[in-house]
Structure 1
Amino acid sequence: MELENIELSHTNTEKTEFVSKSDYKKRFTFWMMLFGIALVVVTCSLLINYLVFYPWKNNGKKFSWSSEELIAFIIVIFLLLSAIIFCILYFWITLRVKYNDPNQNKYIVGATGFTGGFTDTIGVGSFGVITGLLKATKSIKDDSKLPGTLNVALGVSALIESALFVGAIKVNTTTLFVLVGAVIAGTFVGSLFVSKIKDPKIVKIVMGVTLFFVAILMILTHPQVNVINTSDIGDKTSLIDKPWRIIVATVVFFFLGMIQSFGIGLYAPAMASLSFLGLDQQVVFPIMACGSSLCMLPAAYSFIKRKKYLQLTANLIMIWSIFGVVAAFLLVFVGLQMGAGMDEQMFNSVLKWLAITVIFYVSISMLTEYYLIVKRTKKTNI
């Protein structure tokens, strides 16, 4: 099986060092125990979702086995099984190799993962937030491994996040499947290029420039700015009513999948592009969530195969981001919104301004570092 030998086929120059069989068993047991605890918490959250949150979200209507709700439930099960299978295979394969970042501060990185999972669930995003926190705490020194770390670490929590919410929002399944497929294809193609990049300057300039434009898009789509709003050019829950809408969206999402390989989040550009194409902003969320989560899996394969990621960092973020997702769902959606009647729009508005600030910070930091590296290189060559 090719996956079993994935760690043997690294194309970079790093030396692969293996742990002993006893250490491997201890490692595997430890991480799977943490994942098992996370799954128990997720299962409880899903029960709360279907028994409490779903009826509230749908004006008292309880979950039933109608064709539409059955399709949504099947998608939920598929997302959960994908998360479980990926996580088991990931730990089974990668824990045989010694960490390439053994000196990481586990508490800081774990807290970073929790924060990223939390902010992603409430619609702010995780890539920019986690990148900003990793940079601010100096938890990552090699930026060429940043895209791989993000794609490997956040796929599982994104799948679980999608499972929690995909059944609560109605969206045309054909539109969902086509756009998710486009994102997955784009990410796989993009990861083939990104995983081969050895010069950190390239990652810095691409991430710096793209994140800057993502922050601009987030400002334009912010509800308090409202420059980009849903247009009336067709069905607000589907793109298949007019062929040109689904064709344009497919091309756009293929490109968005490619830039996600660089560690650029999908939320802001997806929201902007699909709003231009006439979809309701609530409908964008399950498309964005499913696309973002599923496209990380093929991307993660490429990065793991070439060992272009930080292993311990990815492990910690992977587990703790799951707890962040559940905490955000239970606290914000079930607790504050449903229980306390909190104004959802105001809460999200404040958090989105914070996310915009973080993304601008990361962008400027990346561009500044790129400039300093180029400047040092020129002085060296004189």
Structure 2
Amino acid sequence: MPDVTTPGAAPPGRRTRWPLLLGLGFGIDFLDTLGIGSFATTTTALKLGKLVKDEDIPGTLNTGHALPTLLEAVLYITVIRVELVTLVSMLAAGAIGAWFGAGIVSRLPRRKIQLGMAVALLVTAVFITLRQLEVFPPGGEALALSGVALLIGVTANLVLGALATLGIGNYAPSMAVVSLLGMNPTAAFPIMMGSAALILPAAAVRFVRSGRYDKPTAIAMTLGGIPGVLVAAFIVKSLSLDAVRWLVVAVLLYTSVLMWLSARNEARAGGLNLATS
């Protein structure tokens, strides 16, 4: 008998675990709003809990996090007043990079990019830490870029937008770019969330049309994620500048380790040696 399951519907015989999924949505989007990211944590939770078929995970996390990510962008753009030209330029660069860069970066060695990014984030975390400990001059507090700094920022966001199509998150790298350019670290939040908000809904629409997602899980994660975003955004808004800088260091270190482990696992799966490949 042919499969007549409605696209996006849960597989027959599997009950949707609403309390668990609502809690996951809250927790994951809470962390996402702090800059931790949501894709790696969502993928891990869905796989370990066997909540969704593996082939439906990409569509489920894109559809489930689309609205919370839009809310994150609106909140941060409203609350953190990054200068308009800087904000629009960076967001446009990220969107253009994601749109036109997909075909280019898809041919690049993902594992080597992850390793390079892991090292770059680690170095940036050390640099910011030395600033915090006053070994180096303190970081900047600007909410605008101009001239060469703006050109560097736009170029960096263009590259990060393209790399996002490989599944390499842009949150921690965006934090690194903003900090190294001497901006207030809180400026990273509207830039990185705004970039994600331009990319994620478009991807979600494609998955909905194809039916390659788990609809009940996506709905539950959206409903749980929205209050998670609101709570976390209030916390970030209330943090001192010093506390935000330490938060950035924590995110950079976490993401650096995550990328290195991911690259190592891919190398092992392919029978490669990280030291020689």
Q: TM-score, normalised by structure 2?
A: 0.71
Helix, strand or coil: the match of 1:166?
A: helix
1:162 aligns with 2:162: no
- Cα distance change on mapping 1:272 and 1:347 into 2, 3 Å: closer
1:184 aligns with 2:81: no
- Cα distance change on mapping 1:343 and 1:296 into 2, 3 Å: same
1:43-97 CA distance string (max 9 Å, x none): xxxxxxxxxxxxxxxxxxxxxxxxxxxxxxxxxxxxxxxxxxxxxxxxxxxxxx3
Q: Work out the CA distance in 2 between the residues paired with 1:129 and 1:215.
A: 21
Letter matched to residue 25 of structure 2: G
Deviation of 1:110 (Å): 2.8
Letter matched to residue 45 of structure 2: L
User: Residue 174 of structure 1: which of 85, 90, 98 is its match?
Assistant: 85
Q: Work out the CA distance in 1 between the residues paired with 2:248 and 2:203.
A: 28
Q: Work out the CA distance in 1 between the residues paired with 2:104 and 2:5.
A: 27
Q: Is the 8 A contact 1:147 1:262 kept in 2?
A: no
In structure 2, the residue matched to 1:6 is none
In structure 1, the residue matched to 2:124 is 220
1:262-319 CA distance string (max 9 Å, x none): 4332211111123333322222221222122222122333444444544443332222
In structure 2, the residue matched to 1:65 is none
Q: Is the 8 A contact 2:76 2:190 kept in 1?
A: yes
1:189-232 CA distance string (max 9 Å, x none): 456799xx9xxxx9xx8379638835861673375455999877
1:117 aligns with 2:14: no
Q: How many residues align?
A: 264
Helix, strand or coil: the match of 2:78?
A: coil
1:316-339 CA distance string (max 9 Å, x none): 222211121123245x358xx4xx
1:130-189 CA distance string (max 9 Å, x none): 3343344344552x6544433332221121122223222221111111211121222234
How many percent identity over aligned positions?
25
Q: Work out the CA distance in 1 between the residues paired with 2:118 and 2:95.
A: 20
Q: Work out the CA distance in 2 between the residues paired with 1:121 and 1:263.
A: 18
- Cα distance change on mapping 1:106 and 1:305 into 2, 3 Å: same
Q: How do 1:1-382 residues align onto structure 2 when only pairs under 5 Å count?
A: 17=4, 19=6, 97-99=7-9, 103=14, 105-139=17-51, 142=54, 145-189=56-100, 206=110, 210=114, 213-214=117-118, 217=121, 220-221=124-125, 224=129, 226=131, 236-239=142-145, 241-242=146-147, 244-330=148-234, 332=235, 337=238, 345-346=242-243, 349=246, 353=250, 356-357=253-254, 360=257, 364=261, 367-368=264-265, 371-372=268-269, 374=270
Deviation of 1:116 (Å): 1.4
Helix, strand or coil: the match of 1:282?
A: helix
Q: Is the 8 A contact 2:164 2:170 kept in 1?
A: yes
Unpaired runs of at least 5, structure 2: 272-277
Deviation of 1:354 (Å): 7.7
Q: Is the 8 A contact 1:117 1:322 kept in 2?
A: yes
* Structure of greater relative contact order (alpha carbons < 8 Å, 6+ residues apart): 2
1:210-255 CA distance string (max 9 Å, x none): 38835861673375455999877xx93222x31x333332232122
Q: TM-score, normalised by structure 1?
A: 0.55
- Cα distance change on mapping 1:265 and 1:211 into 2, 3 Å: farther
Letter matched to residue 123 of structure 1: G
- Cα distance change on mapping 1:110 and 1:261 into 2, 3 Å: farther
Letter matched to residue 108 of structure 1: L
Q: Work out the CA distance in 2 between the residues paired with 1:214 and 1:364.
A: 9
Q: Work out the CA distance in 2 between the residues paired with 1:164 and 1:186.
A: 24
Structure whose CA Rg is larger: 1
Q: Is the 8 A contact 2:176 2:252 kept in 1?
A: no
In structure 2, the residue matched to 1:83 is none
Q: Work out the CA distance in 2 between the residues paired with 1:312 and 1:297.
A: 18
- Cα distance change on mapping 1:321 and 1:211 into 2, 3 Å: farther
- Cα distance change on mapping 1:273 and 1:237 into 2, 3 Å: same
